Amino acid sequence: MTDIVMPRLSDTMEEGTILRWLKANGEQVARGEDLAEIETDKATMTYQSDVDGILRILVAEGATLAVGEPIARVGAPGEQDASDASQPDASAVSQPDVHAAGEPREQAGGHDGDAQAAGDGGPAVTPAGPEGERVRASPLARRIARESGVELHGLSGSGPGGRIVKADVLGAAGSGSGAAARQAPGGPLSAAVAPEAQEDVMTAKGQTTSVELSRTQQTIARRMAESKATIPDFSLQIEVDMEACVKLRGELKGLSHAEAGEQGAPWHGGAPTYNDMVIKACALALREYPRANGSYRDGRLALHSRINVGVAVAAEDALVVPTVFDAEEKSLGEIARETRALAERVRAHTITPPELGGGTFTISNLGMYGVASFTAIINPPQAGILSVGSLAPRAVVHEGAVLARNMMTLTLVCDHRILYGAEAAQFLARIRELLQTPSALTL
């Protein structure tokens, strides 16, 4: 038998969640066939088998395991290994809330707070009762029971399969019946508080639904909190006159339309977007200011030889950052085609791990939503992130007259350990210069 382990599908992945098995237990699988959908810290990806044989599933859908932990075995028909006698049948694996080392999530370290307080629709947690009997309860129900001093053992659950849910615990706490009414002295629900007052406090916000974060959302939350807590950042803002870029894009759109017309095919918007122009301008500026293309790790500055620009793409309930590699060497048309293809693969959940790694700088654009300017959070360990606001006509003084010009605001957020104010300002000014004279972007 050959073990199939939780693969490392991104450079920062530490654990993954089996969202769906694409092959059934006992089914024949071939090398290269889709085996499972795995949620990583960056995206949901399809994992392919690298061996041939009969599949034996070891963990249920919804299980979360560390990279390198066995998730299945593949072998010849009828083949067994020495561990088979002690392994439970895959069909009996019914508790998906397993953490990195096979422990219940509540006992494993590394995640707490709201990520642990899953809603009533989340996976069941099965603590052992006083007589060894396992009690099925949602994580939210367990938290409320712990805070209110309610004993779960002996409660009747109204959830699926008899699982104890929030309503069961609240009902037991309010009624004060049997073992469910056990109160800790000085606990959150003091005996001095009437049940009616307790119920008022519990329901003051109306019906509350707790939603468990996906693996990607948990990673985003952790990394962004880490960034704000550990990076001494500062931001610079600059106004860019985009009139020349608007004119250039109009000309490129006309050329694309003419070429499509000659071929008798409809034009599907093949001209570069303003964001593509920002990517190209940023990449050229990064070549001139290599510290902005660096990163900070363990008290050292790493300067990277390749300029790989990450482009933030809004996915379903998450933010994914695919990478345009060697952006300074690519033409504006190549960048436009690549960014469109990457965004489509992100939204179709077909993006691959190599396309999500290796970024040396990030661009985030909310201008399409009418946001004039904003301050993004640095993606560690990168030196900075460029926030792109909306492009809109504004009244400005141009050549001694007040005119309506197409303007755009760029905000550069920098790690002060890597970039200092003067160099960051020069880098941002160079981006503006390239956008205001965009002929260099087409070379």
Domain shared by 295 and 174, yes or no: no
Q: Which domain holds residue 170?
A: 119-203
The upper half-sphere exposure of residue 120, i.e. CA atoms within 13 Å in the direction of its Cβ, equals: 19
* Model pLDDT for residues 97-152, shown as the tens digit of each residue: 434 333 444 333 333 433 333 334 444 444 444 444 557 777 677 778 887 788 88
* Statement: residue 36 has pLDDT above 80: yes
- Average pLDDT estimate for 378-402: 94
Does 309 fall in a domain? yes
In-domain check, residue 36? no
Name the residue among 379, 392, 410 with its Cα closest to residue 285.
410
Backbone dihedral angles phi then psi of residue 3, each to the nearest 5 degrees:
-75, 135
Counting beta carbons within 10 angstroms of the beta carbon of residue 144, is it exposed (0 to 12), middle (13 to 18) or buried (19 or more)? buried
pLDDT at 16: 85
* Same domain membership, residue 249 and residue 190: no
The model's confidence at residue 242, banded by pLDDT at 50, 70 and 90, is very high
Q: What is the CATH number of the domain that holds 298?
A: 3.30.559.10
336 and 191 both lie in a single domain: no
Q: Do 196 and 241 belong to one domain?
A: no
Comparing C-alpha atoms, which of 378, 363, 372 is closest to residue 419?
378
Number of structural domains the chain divides into: 2
Sequence-distant (6+) residues with CB within 8 A of 241 are 396, 398, 405, 406, 407, 436
* pLDDT of 139: 65
Average the pLDDT over each of 60-74, 78-92, 301-315, 363-377 and give the range with the smallest value.
78-92
* Residue 405: predicted pLDDT: 95
For residues 178 and 244, membership in a common domain is answered with no
- In this structure, the answer to whether residues 347 and 252 fall within a common structural domain is yes
Written as one string, the DSSP assignment of 317-386 is TEEE--EETTGGGS-HHHHHHHHHHHHHHHHTT---HHHHS--SEEEEE-GGGT-----PPP-TTBSEEE
**pLDDT number for residue 362:** 97
Residues 271 and 384 grouped into a single domain: yes
- What per-residue confidence (pLDDT) applies to 75? 87
Residue 250 has pLDDT above 70, yes or no: yes
Catalytic residues: 416
Tens digits of residue pLDDT in 15-28: 888 888 999 998 99
**How sure is the predictor about 1, in pLDDT bands with cuts at 50, 70 and 90?**
confident
Please report the pLDDT score of residue 201 as a whole number. Answer: 59
Residues 164-200: tens digit of each pLDDT: 877 788 878 766 543 444 444 444 444 444 555 555 6
